[in-house]
């Protein structure tokens, strides 16, 4: 899949400013599973639910508490407690597990049929650049992609003007356009929305992730007893190179980055192939 092809498929969403998404003609036409890493009561999850409910039947399977930066961790060492309830006419599952496990459990055991798409978010804070490796929001989408199901991770940049409803409108537009196309299995989208009012967002940019090291640092301190310790400090990256996800969000655009499950670098794979001809020393 080329960047040009992906942009062509999404060309219609560039007119989103000032528009609203049309509800699906068949309320039950789409089956949508949503999850997150901020927990079942997070405002971003509710905003996403309300917006996507215009497209079909939405089921929620989310961790019972916040699990940010859990990456793609899964639960393997004990029972998983679930609380099922109805909210706004839909099934909600509060799950005592890491986010990726919540998605896998829903896909394997809780849903009657596979969903048409899995949407994760709306995360409080952007997930751009290499931070995506730490993100459990992105992991939810990746987990769905493992199963060949279309998936989108949606995050909202931190800031004083964070607007979950604006981010939810963006999510609806992207879900509609994404499902209208045919993409290879194992592809999932990482979407980041700037902390702006809906009408002030400039548009979409389909961009690669910024590969600069994340702004994580550690400040050394000493407590009154003389024990040394470190306090983690995080500083969001600046704009950086033009046409990356960090640049797009910092400049008022929604960033869309297509990710893939296969992490193999074919060029290095070919170069390393010569090792297969090296005599094996025993």
**Segments making up each domain of the chain, as ranges:** 3-211+239-277
The Cα–Cα gap between 58 and 120 comes to: 12
The Cα–Cα gap between 139 and 52 comes to: 20
The CA R_g of the chain, rounded to the nearest whole Å, is: 20
The answer to whether the CB of 35 falls within 8 A of the CB of 110 is no
DSSP secondary structure letters along 122-180:
EEES---GGGGGT-HHHHHHHHHHHTT--EEEEEE--STT--HHHHHHHHHHHHHHHHH
Percent of the chain scoring above 90 in pLDDT: 64
The Cα–Cα gap between 258 and 206 comes to: 8
State mean pLDDT over 224-249.
84
Residue 230 DSSP SS3 = strand
The Cα–Cα gap between 185 and 105 comes to: 20
Identify the helix (H) or strand (E) that includes residue 266. helix 266-272
Eight-class DSSP state of 68:
T
Domain 3-211+239-277, CATH homologous superfamily name and number:
Survival protein SurE-like phosphatase/nucleotidase (3.40.1210.10)
Q: List 233's β-bridge partners, or say none.
A: 217
Statement: the pTM of the whole predicted model exceeds 0.85: no
Where does the pLDDT of residue 240 fall: very low under 50, low under 70, confident under 90, or very high at 90 and above? confident
The Cα–Cα gap between 201 and 189 comes to: 19
The answer to whether the CB of 157 falls within 8 A of the CB of 193 is yes
pLDDT-wise least confident of 7-11, 73-77, 123-127: 7-11
Average per-residue pLDDT for the chain: 86
Identify the helix (H) or strand (E) that includes residue 271. helix 266-272
The answer to whether the CB of 23 falls within 8 A of the CB of 172 is no
Tens-digit pLDDT profile for residues 136-145: 999 999 999 9
The answer to whether the CB of 179 falls within 8 A of the CB of 172 is no
Where does the pLDDT of residue 252 fall: very low under 50, low under 70, confident under 90, or very high at 90 and above? very high
Tens-digit pLDDT profile for residues 176-221: 999 998 888 899 999 999 999 999 999 999 999 988 777 777 889 9
Residue 267 DSSP SS3 = helix
The answer to whether the CB of 175 falls within 8 A of the CB of 3 is no
pLDDT at 169 > cutoff 90: yes
Which residue in 102, 93, 151, 157 sits closest to 125, CA to CA?
157
Tens-digit pLDDT profile for residues 17-46: 333 333 333 445 899 999 999 999 999 999
pLDDT at 14 > cutoff 70: no
Q: What is the per-residue burial (b if ≥16 Cβ within 10 Å, else e) of 93-105? A: bbbbbbbbbbbbb
The per-residue pLDDT for 19 is 35
The Cα–Cα gap between 27 and 51 comes to: 13
């Amino acid at each position: 899949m080329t960047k040009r092809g992906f942009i062509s498929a999404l060309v219609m969403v560039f007119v989103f400013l000032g528009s609203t998404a049309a509800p699906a003609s068949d309320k039950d036409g789409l089956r949508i599973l949503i999850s997150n890493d901020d927990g079942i009561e997070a405002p971003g999850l509710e905003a996403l639910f309300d917006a996507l409910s215009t497209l079909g039947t939405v089921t929620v399977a989310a961790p019972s508490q916040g699990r940010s930066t859990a990456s793609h961790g899964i639960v393997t060492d004990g029972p998983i407690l679930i609380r099922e309830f109805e909210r706004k006419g839909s099934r909600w599952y509060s799950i005592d597990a890491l986010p990726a496990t919540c998605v896998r459990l829903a896909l394997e055991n809780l849903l009657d049929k596979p969903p048409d798409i899995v949407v994760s978010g709306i995360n409080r804070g952007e997930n751009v650049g290499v931070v995506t490796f730490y993100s459990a929001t992105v992991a939810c989408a990746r987990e769905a992609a493992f199963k060949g199901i279309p998936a989108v991770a949606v995050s909202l940049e931190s800031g004083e003007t964070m607007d979950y409803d604006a981010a939810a409108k963006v999510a609806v537009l992207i879900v509609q356009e994404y499902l209208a196309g045919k993409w290879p299995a194992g592809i999932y989208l990482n979407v980041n929305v700037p902390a702006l009012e809906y009408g002030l967002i400039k548009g979409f940019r389909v961009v690669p992730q910024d590969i600069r090291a994340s702004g994580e640092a550690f400040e050394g301190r000493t407590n009154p007893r003389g024990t040394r310790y470190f306090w983690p400090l995080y500083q969001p990256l600046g704009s950086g190179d033009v046409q990356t996800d960090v640049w797009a969000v910092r400049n008022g655009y929604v960033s869309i980055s297509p990710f893939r499950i296969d992490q193999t670098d074919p060029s290095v794979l070919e170069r390393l192939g010569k090792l297969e001809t090296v005599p094996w020393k025993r």
